[in-house]
Amino acid sequence: MEASTPPLFERLPKDLFRPLAATNNLRYWDLLCRLMIEMWGDGGRSPGEEAPKTTVIRAIESFLVADDPWEDVESPITIRAHGIFNFFCESGWLSQRRRGVIDHVTVRPVVAQFFTVLTEFAHHKPEFLGGKVRSIFLNLREVSAGKAPELYPEAARQAKQCMAHIINTSCRVQDLMDVLVTKTTASEFVRGFFEEYIEKVFIADYSDFRTNNHPLQYRSDIVSLTLQFQHDTNLRQSLITWYAEKQADGDLLRAEALYERDTRLLLRLRDVEEHLRRLDEEIRVAHQRAMAFFEYKLRSPGNFDKLIDQAISAAKVLEEGHIALPGIAGIYHASEFGLAKPRTPLREHVSTTVAEFVPTIEELAKEALRQRMNADRNVTPLKLAQYVARHLGDQSAIRSDELSIDSIIDLCCYQRLLLIASRDGCPQGKRKSDPHLQMVPGMHVTFVPETNTRNEYMEHQQFVIRVGRK
């Protein structure tokens, strides 16, 4: 039990949580954060560096003067500042030492480190998963080169954090939307949706997940390297030896168990697509719920009934001539003469006769010509297949340089092939829903790198048409 329990209170004072567990914990936390930032923050002293006690107490007094969390307390600020200072010292947040005749105060580095962990936990910000995955990949490459076996457990730790962040994001979206739907006003919902959901919950590079520059594009390389370590006897044995020397006190069985644990963490990246699919679904549902709430608030009558009741009650007590009453003499505002006029029946609309128009032969000919022009420019799957088949013959592939353009429909089919080639970089998951890529089954159109095609109508990057399985 002792080995499995983290020795938290061997590093931290036992009373460190007293201010955070007190009745006024929010007030103490606010003052503690301001004091740490002012005295031992980025622009102040380093943790462990001492400051005179009078300086620390004056800082607490200035905080109380500027923004006093205890506004309901009437005791002098000086007394309360000394009480807060003593409370922080007794609980272990501040350490007091006497240097000669002057008392000095500091923050122990381990306490400052714990405070940093708390503030980072409180200020949750979107993370860039792409940087973590790239770091994992680079660490494993160093391990494969035999330079730094200690990077293998570090890569496993980062892989665990990466997967946990994706899974936790799905849970946070669910929890946050459950809280937002309880908001009674549209302003509270909109503020929570854009501040808590959009700014804090999202993965920072989530929008890049469906592009060629996928933040997790190295995951297959990571899995490949991990499997290589697992099946390469020399690499596997060198890693287990390192675990035995550095983390298992020479116990080979325990070292092998630690190695297998980290290997499983790295191989979990194989399931990242499934977790991303679930995250997509949660985000889609969250957007639907938000849009439904916005539409309901825009269309619902809101509190019109209450406003009408308030107006009727006010009309009974207001005197004649009051600015809030209609400008009509007497008691018109409270009589039937001041009410809205009854609805008048709608006038029956009589339809007008439709004048007959007989087109001339010239107009009919022009209309037929327009229809023929539209039909020639309409590229159907059959026309496109016939155009390609006419040039392919018995071949299985043909380049754009070999295509001829003899008519308008040929030019339209050629342009459609150019459009299909430009969509070849579409992600695999969206290819089935692209109508252009699915226009002619079995036909694949791709660009040829660093090669151009020039004909009498256009100049573009050369493409090749292949028929059959890709």
pLDDT at 2: 41
Tokens of 287: 């957007």
In the predicted structure, residue 45 carries a pLDDT above the cut 90 = no
In the predicted structure, residue 91 carries a pLDDT above the cut 80 = yes
pLDDT at 286: 77
Q: Nearest Cα to 50, choosing from 89, 97, 83, 85?
A: 97
Q: What is the mean pLDDT of residues 423-448?
A: 82
Instruction: For residue 317, count CB atoms less than 10 angstroms from its CB and return exposed for 0-12, middle for 13-18, buried for 19 or more.
Output: exposed
In the predicted structure, residue 167 carries a pLDDT above the cut 60 = yes
Q: What is the mean pLDDT of residues 334-352?
A: 74
Q: What is the mean pLDDT of residues 35-54?
A: 83
DSSP state for residue 206 in the 8-state scheme: G
Among the residue ranges 120-129, 249-258, 275-284, 421-430, the one predicted with the least confidence is 120-129
Identify which has the larger pLDDT, 219 or 128: 219
In the predicted structure, residue 361 carries a pLDDT above the cut 90 = yes
Which domains occur in the chain, in start order?
Answer: 8-122 (1.10.10.10), 129-295 (no CATH), 375-467 (no CATH)
How does residue 464 score in pLDDT terms, banded at 50, 70 and 90? very high
Tokens of 79: 């007394």
DSSP 61-128: HHHHHHS-TTTT--S-HHHHHHHHHHHHHHHTSSEEEEETTEEEEE--HHHHHHHHHHHHHHS-----
How does residue 334 score in pLDDT terms, banded at 50, 70 and 90? low
Q: How high does pLDDT run on average in the chain?
A: 80
Q: What is the mean pLDDT of residues 158-168?
A: 82
Q: What is the pLDDT of residues 129-146, one digit of tens each?
A: 777 788 888 888 888 887
DSSP 83-96: HHHHHHHHHTSSEE
CA torsion angle for 176, 182, 187, 189 (degrees, to 10)?
20
pLDDT at 213: 52
